[in-house]
Structure 1
Amino acid sequence: MNYELSILLAQDGVSFSLAEPQKGKVLALEAMSFFNSGEVGVPDWDQVTEILPAARKMSQWAINTFPRTRIFVETRKSTLIPQSLASVETNRDILAFNHPLADDEVVLADNVSSGEMTHLFAISGKLLSVLTQIQGVSGVHCASSVLLELLVGQFRNLILDDKLFVHVRPRWFEVVYLRDKKLRFFNSFEYRNRED
């Protein structure tokens, strides 16, 4: 069987899902919560780096080796740019224009093919090193990239007016705006007070 493991690293926990892609089945889900001492929208990557190996060992099946493992990271330190502007040489400067980056943070890029965009995001170099040591890892991606791909792909063939989506997270929310079957706007916003 060709099972696929997906790991989601969030600000408040880690989730594992085991799927059989050929049959389109999700076979198992597990989630583990923890307190994140990081600032709003800024994960404490050191804490996640320490917790991930222990969380995998606690799982009944996520500790196993799979032919393919995909990793998704939740972070506000991201920005969406046209694919024509994306390059390894300039991605860090572009993301640093919108978000302060620590020296040890690495900038990665996801192509959002359905939107002809590149989604830049930051991750701790130490965490990236731990993640790439997991056997079968096929890539580290931003969780928001999946949301964008899904929404643009789902509404591409429908005749519709403007669509606005709000993705609510524990510490921030994301807004996605589609118009004329294309992605027109994406951004994330922190909650400022209790009423938000």
Structure 2
Amino acid sequence: MTIKVKQLQKKSKKNSAFAQHKSLSIQFSLDGFSFCISNSETKEILLFTEYTFSSSIASPELLLDKIIRVFDTDKDLQQDFTSVFAIHQNNLATLVPNKLFDRNNLAPYLKYDVKTLKTDFITYDLHTIIAANTVYIPYVNINNYLFQNFGEFEYKHHSTVLIDKLLNYSENDSEEQFFVHVSPSHLDIVVCKEGKLLFYNSFSYNTKEDFIYYVLFTAEQLQMDPNSFQLTFIGDIEKESDIYSITYTYIRNIHFMNPINSFFTDSEDFSNHSNFILIA
């Protein structure tokens, strides 16, 4: 399987690459693997690298094989880090309000949406802004590999990071904000207002018709008029894509997220609205 590599280093601050203390943030899914290295003290981004697979990996076991190959060949990952943070991106998760949450009995929360096995390890993330938890199945084999390489590290589900960042981003907006985070094989929809979460869900899609169906279905359920509300795209999508075109057919007010971090400004390989979960 061919691996396409995109690597970008912030040209205006090359001397930052010599930072003595560095942090590593990793995001992985069955579609790809990316990582960010930053200065532990100043939080300045030093390096971002993205590996995208030509097609989705069939299993977490095969994904681990790819990740091991990356770690064995990418010298930027072969150094000491003061901290490591991993983000599991998959659709093996659900959001549970605190009022209904029992941390000692996690399996029932997933049984209606996710096919689980008795041997699955299920965990949860506590949200920092809303009174809810993300219950999910992490890629345990990858966690074990990272532990072997780095020792103790922190990890979360991608939806936890996405929701909390978007709530912070939109806390001063008095209008409802309809965000769509795009990945190669699934989309996350987050609707919020003044820092409060109104809706979240994740959908798998194979075609552009699947994609627009979930967007319009969500808008209908929330009684949001496609002719009036603003949709903000984040992630792996560009204006020239088929997904953007079909969305614009039904929703007229479409925007790309304005970057919080200017790291990708002037980049030919990455858009400012991409990689919001890992860099924001």
The structural deviation recorded for 1:53 is: 2.0
In the alignment, structure 1 segments of 5+ residues that lack a partner are 39-43
Give the residue type in structure 2 aligned to 1:174.
Answer: D
What SS does the aligned partner of 1:106 have?
Answer: coil
Q: So what's the TM-score if we normalise by structure 1?
A: 0.87
Q: Supply the distance in 2 between the matched residues of 1:159 and 1:12 (Cα, whole angstroms).
A: 33
Kept in 1: contact 2:138–2:157 (CA 8 A): no
Equivalent positions of 1:125-140 (< 5 A) are 125-140=140-155
What displacement does 1:124 show? 3.5
From the two aligned structures, give the one with the greater strand fraction. 1
Superposed CA deviations along residues 56-93 of structure 1, whole A, max 9, x for unmatched, are 12112212221201111110111111134333321122
What is residue 41 of structure 1 aligned with on the other side?
A: none
**Equivalent position of 1:6 in the other structure:** 25
| Aligned positions of 1:121-160 closer than 5 A | 121-156=136-171, 158-160=172-174
1:28-67 alignment runs, 5 A limit? 28-34=47-53, 35-38=55-58, 44-67=59-82
Which runs of 5 or more residues in structure 2 are unaligned? 1-19, 212-280
Separation in 2, partners of 1:130, 1:179: 39
Distance 1:21 1:114 in 2: 24
Question: Which is bigger in relative contact order (C-alpha 8 A, separation at least 6)?
Answer: 1
Which whole-Å CA distance do the structure 2 matches of 1:19 and 1:164 have between them?
A: 30
Task: Indicate conservation of the 8 Å contact 2:96/2:132, yes or no.
Answer: yes
Q: Which amino acid aligns with 1:167?
A: H
Change in Cα spacing, 1:33 to 1:104, as seen in structure 2 (3 Å) is farther
Distance 1:69 1:124 in 2: 16
Root-mean-square deviation (CA, aligned residues, Å) is 1.9
TM-aligned CA distance change 1:17 to 1:132, over 3 Å: same
Sort the Cα spacing of 1:93 and 1:30 in 2 relative to 1 into closer, same or farther, 3 A: same
Deviation per residue, 1:3-23 (Å, 9 max, x gap): 100111122221121011431
The alignment's TM-score, normalised by the length of structure 2, stands at 0.62
| Cα distance in structure 1, aligned partners of 2:79 and 2:147 | 15
**Whole-angstrom CA distance in 2 between matches of 1:192 and 1:32:** 21
| Rg (Cα) greater in structure | 2
CA distance in 2, matches of 1:106, 1:84: 23
1:130-156 deviation digits (Å, cap 9, x = unpaired): 233231442121122111111111222
Provide the residue aligned with 1:172 in structure 2: 186
Per-residue deviation, residues 14-60 of structure 1 (Å, max 9, x unmatched): 1121011431311011122234342xxxxx10011222222112112
